[in-house]
Amino acid sequence: MNSGTFRSLLAILLFAYAGSCIDAGAQDSLQVLPNDYIMNDILNQQRVKSAIEFHGDETQPRKKKDPLAVTTGKTSYVSSQQVSLRVRQQFADNLKASVGVDGARLVADALKKSDPVAEWAAIVGGDGLRPGDVADVVASYWILNWVMANGSDSTDRQAQAVREQIRPIIAANTGLNDAQRQEIAEVLILNFLMQRTAYVNALNKGDAATARKLGDAAVKRFSDEMAVDLKKLELTDNGFIASGPR
């Protein structure tokens, strides 16, 4: 199966699903996140808030970084096919509530024949983000949700700044091994592909209502998982900073 076929299948399934259930709550179910420890503990809320520094003038130097975030922990990992297969099967199983048993089976089959990591890398490569590092993946996932929430866009410089902003937060979890870092990354990659597919399809069809609902779901998702209000973040060349409501 060629790269991109998994996204094509997702587009078909999401179209069928969204056609019958399109409210913001339903769109919020377009995610299959890792275990709670990933978003609630690894992306520690206190560290996230410390990383989002408020300053009104981007020409001024950034404030001193949170000393608690300085660590020698790793964010990169060596991939294992066994971990990939387990993550993909769990992802498909968890989609049953959204797309039904038959739809989930189609997703599972597509995942066996495709390379979601390569598909993700093709999308974000222009921003300088690369596979094999959790920080790159989390940055892409956060930026995608911010883009959906605010109807905006991002640049390569901003993406790389967010990656470096996130890296010490993840690296602070020194107990993570390669398999756990890979699990975090690949589950978020699958969520990224699913959410981006739904959003891009809505934009391509000129379906502003669906795009807005997907944005509302992104706001709720990050509020629930990280206590972060995407509407009150500004994406700059220094990464995310706090701002007023949009």
- Give the pLDDT confidence of 193-231 residue by residue, as tens digits: 888 988 998 999 999 999 999 999 999 988 887 888 999
Q: What's the whole-number mean pLDDT along residues 39-49?
A: 62
| 242 phi, psi to nearest 5 deg | -75, 145
- Give the pLDDT confidence of 171-192 residue by residue, as tens digits: 988 888 999 999 999 999 998 9
In a domain, 231, yes or no: yes
In a domain, 49, yes or no: yes
Domain that holds residue 179: 31-80+115-242
User: Does the pLDDT of residue 83 top 90, yes or no?
Assistant: yes
| CB-based burial, 129-143: b 16+ in 10 Å, e otherwise | bebbbbbbbbbbbbb
Q: What is the mean pLDDT of the chain?
A: 79
The pLDDT of residue 236? 95
Q: What percent of the chain has pLDDT over 90?
A: 45
Expressed in angstroms, the distance from the first to the final Cα of the chain is 42
CA distances from 208 to 166, 199, 201, 214 (A): 31, 10, 11, 10
Query: Picking from 66-70, 102-106, 153-157, 240-244, which range would have the lowest pLDDT averaged per residue?
Result: 66-70
Q: How confident is the model at residue 167 (pLDDT cuts 50, 70, 90)?
A: very high
| CB-based burial, 170-184: b 16+ in 10 Å, e otherwise | bbbbeebeeebbbbb
User: Does the pLDDT of residue 60 top 80, yes or no?
Assistant: no
| Residue matched to tokens 């010490």 | 168
Long-range contacts of 161-164 (CB under 8 A, 24+ apart): 161/236, 161/237, 161/238, 161/239, 162/235, 162/239, 162/240, 163/129, 163/135, 163/136, 163/139, 164/135, 164/239
In a domain, 75, yes or no: yes
Which amino acid is located at 59 in the chain? T
User: Does the pLDDT of residue 65 top 80, yes or no?
Assistant: no
d(CA 168, CA 44): 11
In a domain, 175, yes or no: yes
In a domain, 4, yes or no: no
> Which pTM was predicted?
0.82
User: Does the pLDDT of residue 35 top 50, yes or no?
Assistant: no
Residue of 147, 121, 164 whose CA lies nearest to 222: 147
Query: Picking from 83-97, 153-167, 225-239, which range would have the lowest pLDDT averaged per residue?
Result: 83-97
Question: In this predicted model, which residue has the larger pLDDT, 148 or 53?
Answer: 148
Q: What's the whole-number mean pLDDT along residues 129-134?
A: 97
In a domain, 41, yes or no: yes
**Summary count for the chain: helices (H), strands (E):** 11, 2
Sign of CA dihedral 181, 80, 91, 11: positive
The pLDDT of residue 19? 40
User: Does the pLDDT of residue 23 top 70, yes or no?
Assistant: no
Sign of CA dihedral 218, 219, 222, 224: negative
Question: In the 8-state DSSP scheme, what is residue 132?
Answer: S
Structural domain total, the chain: 1
In a domain, 207, yes or no: yes
The tally of CA atoms less than 13 A away on the side-chain side of residue 49 is: 10
User: Does the pLDDT of residue 41 top 70, yes or no?
Assistant: no
Q: Per mean pLDDT, which of 30-34, 60-64, 171-175, 233-237 is the most reliable?
A: 233-237
In a domain, 22, yes or no: no
